[in-house]
Structure 1
Amino acid sequence: MDPVTLPGAPNVALRAAEKRGYGVPNEHGDRPGRPAPDRGGSSGGTALAARRERPRWRQRVSTTLALIRANPTGRVALKIFIAIAGALVVTIGLALIPLPGPGWLLVIAGLGIWAVEFHWARRLLTFTRRHVHNWTEWVKRQSLTVRFVLGAVGLVFVSTVVWLSLKYSLGIDVVARALHYLATH
């Protein structure tokens, strides 16, 4: 196996793992079904190669995950940790969906956490991104009137969800209080 040439401290850990006999892939190109990364070379030029390089923090995270996966116990522990962390974020997101705020964003973030280890989550996240992108592009192509109507429908929906959440979970009927206030003042 070729030695890995990433700068910094992770090289020491990679070499130690290789000495123990663990194969440590350091790039996504080493995984089956993915193309090998293009290093720029003579055809791409330095500007193109610099643009394609991953940020340092992503390289370190990728190297750390590869080191953990290289050990059979680490691989199982990582799967368990990712499963629990993703489930926690998704559960909080699902609980917050009826309320205004980041409910769906947290569900998608939890899906992103699961996508680190689980192929089904990676496929579902890709599906979700594609459909959200297609919806956004469709809305951008519509006239200003259609966009206004979509925004108004969204605002009415969110307002109704907030009103029903306050009424049935906290016992506060905002509409009745507002009507009572208007009638007395």
Structure 2
Amino acid sequence: MLANPHTARLYRTIVGGLGTLVVLIGLALVPLPGPGWLIVIIGLFIISSEFHWAQRLLRFVRDNVERWTHWIMAQPLWVRWTTGAVTAAFVAVIVWLTLKLTGLPDWVPDLRLFDVIGLH
């Protein structure tokens, strides 16, 4: 199938387009809680199946995530806990801001807590 240059070019275009779409969706989801970065990496995996630059980028990402993981695990427990708490606070602020801008979904029960934190 890919011996034909036209088919190979079409295949690479489809793979590149699909991978780019997945990366863009992931980037749009990064500030929200959830798997934004994981989706970006999946998109890079898709693109890297056909493009060497994406393979190098994926290797760079993998190496830096591994380096970060080793660094954070080598830190004292208070540093790890503080990093986790700051990350959780950041995610909480993003969730609050998202709900403040978009409003609470209709299926969410009417709780007094939402009045206290300014979401009603």
TM range (shorter): 0.7 to 0.9
Q: What's the TM-score once normalised by structure 1's chain length?
A: 0.55
CA contact (8 A) 1:98 1:165 kept: no
Residue 177, structure 1, aligned to residue 114, structure 2: yes
Which residue of structure 2 lines up, in the alignment, with residue 158 of structure 1? 91
Which residue of structure 1 lines up, in the alignment, with residue 110 of structure 2? none
Identity of matched residues, %: 49
Residue 110, structure 1, aligned to residue 47, structure 2: no
Deviations 1:64-91 (A, max 9, x none): xxx52x3212210111111111022112
Q: Whose RCO is larger (CA < 8 A, sep 6+)?
A: 2
Q: What's the TM-score once normalised by structure 2's chain length?
A: 0.82
RMSD between aligned alpha carbons? 2.1
Q: Return 5+ residue gaps in structure 2 as ranges.
A: 105-112
What pairs up with 1:35-184 in 2 under 5 angstroms?
A: 68=2, 70-168=3-101, 170-172=102-104, 177-179=114-116
Q: Distance in 2 between matches of 1:171 and 1:102?
A: 22
Deviations 1:12-36 (A, max 9, x none): xxxxxxxxxxxxxxxxxxxxxxxxx
Letter in 1 for 2:24: T
Q: Cα distance, 1:158 vs. partner? A: 0.8
Q: Which runs of 4+ in 1 moved over 3 A?
A: none
Q: Cα distance, 1:132 vs. partner? A: 0.4
Aligned residues: 111
Q: Cα distance, 1:100 vs. partner? A: 1.1
The 3 A distance-change label for structure 1 pair 121 and 180 is: closer
Q: Distance in 1 between matches of 2:83 and 2:40?
A: 23
What pairs up with 1:8-23 in 2 under 5 angstroms?
A: none
